[in-house]
């Protein structure tokens, strides 16, 4: 029996290191895609696409000419419709790939400790005074559109500047401050509000704006609640906290250092 198998079966191809690398890359790509679309509308799109593929091969196998013709003619339109309907999910997925540790290895940050210290001191002081604030820290994905829509400052980052910006009588207290390359790039920046229906209705505008930005960007948002005085951090569309001053420093060091 063994001799018959060896004679009639084709020889097993030899596996080289290139094959292992090829399989690893494809496996990681599929895993990252599944992780990126988890919990989004793209899951339903993936299920629908899989159903179309099954119907296509079923029509070929069963010689269903009408179904086969319909699927082949609709396929091109489905691709364009998916791009239009799921553009936010596509941006979020591409941003997710850009945040991979492999790419972060080549990107360094200087002066991160001073930036973290100034932000933590300012957030703590504003929290004690119940002054609402939102500070956005740019990372790998640029925030140029939001910076240009606000009031450009390009000023040295200090806790005095942050506290003065968010004072209720300040003309710049509405909107967010964006920190870019350890400097205050702009103030009074308005951010997109999240449309996630699962969020609590009690969540304020600052928290919704921070979530809306970080859903599509790798930035880090530090939020000070005007109502409760709590300090929170928004990352990847989720709110973390509340944080004390030391906890905030530790968390930010893990994110931007």
User: pLDDT tens digits, residue range 85-116?
Assistant: 666 666 666 665 555 554 544 444 556 778 88
**Bigger pLDDT: 202 vs 119:** 119
Residue 44 has pLDDT above 60, yes or no: yes
Band of the pLDDT at 213, cuts 50, 70, 90?
A: confident
Task: Give the dihedral sign, CA 33/36/37/41.
Answer: negative
What is the arithmetic mean of pLDDT over 164-181?
85
Q: 143 — phi, psi (to 5°)?
A: -120, 30
| CB of 145 closer than 8 Å to CB of 216 | no
Least confident of 29-33, 94-98, 109-113, 123-127: 94-98
Band of the pLDDT at 171, cuts 50, 70, 90?
A: confident
What is the arithmetic mean of pLDDT over 215-242?
86
pLDDT, averaged across the chain: 77
Long-range contacts of 110-114 (CB under 8 A, 24+ apart): 110/182, 111/182, 112/182, 112/253, 112/256, 112/257, 113/253, 113/257, 114/157, 114/182
Chain region(s) in the chain for CATH 3.40.1700.10: 112-256
Band of the pLDDT at 132, cuts 50, 70, 90?
A: confident
Whole-prediction pTM: 0.57
| CB of 13 closer than 8 Å to CB of 54 | no
Least confident of 39-48, 62-71, 136-145, 231-240: 39-48
Band of the pLDDT at 54, cuts 50, 70, 90?
A: confident
Which CATH architecture fits 112-256? 3-Layer(aba) Sandwich (3.40)
What b-and-e string marks burial along 36-75, b requiring 16 or more CB atoms within 10 Å of the CB? bbeebebeebeeeeeeeeeebeebeeeeeeeebeebeeee
**Bigger pLDDT: 156 vs 197:** 156
Q: What is the pLDDT of residue 146?
A: 85
Q: Percentage of the chain surpassing pLDDT 90?
A: 1
SS3 assignment, position 157 = coil
Q: 27 — phi, psi (to 5°)?
A: -65, -45
Q: What is the pLDDT of residue 106?
A: 45
């Amino acid at each position: 029996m063994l001799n018959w198998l060896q004679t009639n079966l084709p020889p097993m191809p030899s596996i080289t290191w290139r094959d292992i690398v090829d399989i690893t890359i494809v496996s990681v790509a599929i895993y990252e895609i599944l992780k990126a679309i988890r919990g989004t509308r793209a899951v339903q799109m993936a299920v629908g696409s899989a159903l179309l593929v099954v119907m296509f091969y079923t029509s070929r196998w069963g010689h269903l000419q009408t179904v086969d013709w319909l699927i082949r003619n609709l396929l091109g339109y489905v691709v364009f419709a998916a791009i239009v309907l799921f553009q936010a999910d596509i941006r979020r997925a591409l941003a997710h790939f850009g945040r991979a540790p492999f790419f972060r290895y080549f990107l360094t940050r200087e002066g991160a400790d001073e930036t973290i210290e100034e932000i933590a001191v300012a957030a703590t002081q504003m929290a004690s005074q119940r002054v609402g604030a939102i500070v956005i820290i740019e990372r790998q994905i640029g925030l140029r559109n939001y910076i240009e829509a606000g009031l450009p400052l390009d000023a040295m980052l200090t806790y005095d500047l942050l506290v003065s910006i968010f004072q209720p009588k300040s003309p710049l207290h509405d909107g967010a401050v964006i920190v870019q390359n350890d400097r205050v790039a702009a103030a009074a920046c308005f951010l997109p509000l999240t449309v996630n229906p699962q969020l609590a209705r009690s969540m304020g505008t600052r928290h919704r704006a921070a979530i809306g930005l970080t859903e599509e960007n790798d930035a880090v948002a530090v939020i000070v609640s005007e109502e409760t005085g709590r300090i929170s951090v928004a990352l990847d569309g989720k709110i973390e906290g509340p944080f004390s001053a030391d906890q905030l420093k530790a968390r930010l060091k893990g994110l931007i250092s």
